[in-house]
Amino acid sequence: MPKLTGNCLCGNVSFEAEGEIAMQGNCHCTDCQQVTGATHATLVFMHTDDVAVTGETRQYEHKVDSGNVLIKDFCPSCGSQLFSTNKARANMIGLRAGSINEKDQIRPQFNVFVSSKVPCTILDVNIPAFEKMPG
């Protein structure tokens, strides 16, 4: 089982995660583009019980196209977004790949919402790509 550690830009919020990685993926939806300021978000999903957070975060909650409610946790000092949770999957947490120290553990398994990807974004042809969220 991998152990993942990470922190925000200013270091006021950190985390340790130890357990099985449930899945990893790149999301190209407009919400992820806007919240990250990047072409997509890469998320590493783990069970919430396997992740310990030190420091206080603030949250932003919003409804997505599917009707699900997503919660973004970020550092109130530097603004770094660290985690995402989905009220429909309360036992899972998405760690933002950019905040993880163990970069060799980041291996996305899929791309979702490629229908809204930025045209210059190059997709890895070795992993599945979905126009929207599958299922």
Strand partners, 73: 59, 83
Q: What is the CA radius of gyration of the chain?
A: 14
User: What is the domain class of 3-116 according to CATH?
Assistant: mainly beta
Domain boundaries, the chain: 3-116
SS3 30: helix
The more confidently predicted of residues 23 and 87 is: 23
Report how far residue 45's alpha carbon sits from residue 115's, in angstroms, rounded to the nearest whole number.
Answer: 22
The structure's pTM equals 0.92
Determine the pLDDT at residue 64: 81
The rounded distance, in Å, linking the Cα atoms of 132 and 129 is: 9
pLDDT of residue 3: 93
